[in-house]
Amino acid sequence: MQFSSRFTIATHTLLCIAMFQKEYKVTSNFLAGSINVNPVMIRNILGQLSAAGLVKIKAGIGGAYLAKPADEITLRDIFKAVEKEESLFHFHENPNPECPVGRTIHSVMDSKIDTIQLAMENKMAETTLFQLLEEAKKNI
- Answer for the pair 130, 71: CB distance below 8 angstroms, yes or no: yes
Is 57's pLDDT higher than 70?
Answer: yes
Phi and psi (nearest 5°) for 66?
A: -65, 140
> Hey, is 74 helix, strand or coil?
strand
Classify residue 53 as left (phi > 0), alpha (psi -120 to 50) or beta.
left
Q: Which residues make beta-bridge pairs with 65? A: 56
- How confident is the model over 105-136, as pLDDT tens digits? 988 998 998 899 899 999 999 999 999 999 99
- How confident is the model over 86-107, as pLDDT tens digits? 677 777 878 999 999 999 998 8
- Answer for the pair 97, 70: CB distance below 8 angstroms, yes or no: no
Question: What global pTM score does this model have?
Answer: 0.87
| Domains of the chain by start residue, with CATH | 6-138 (1.10.10.10)
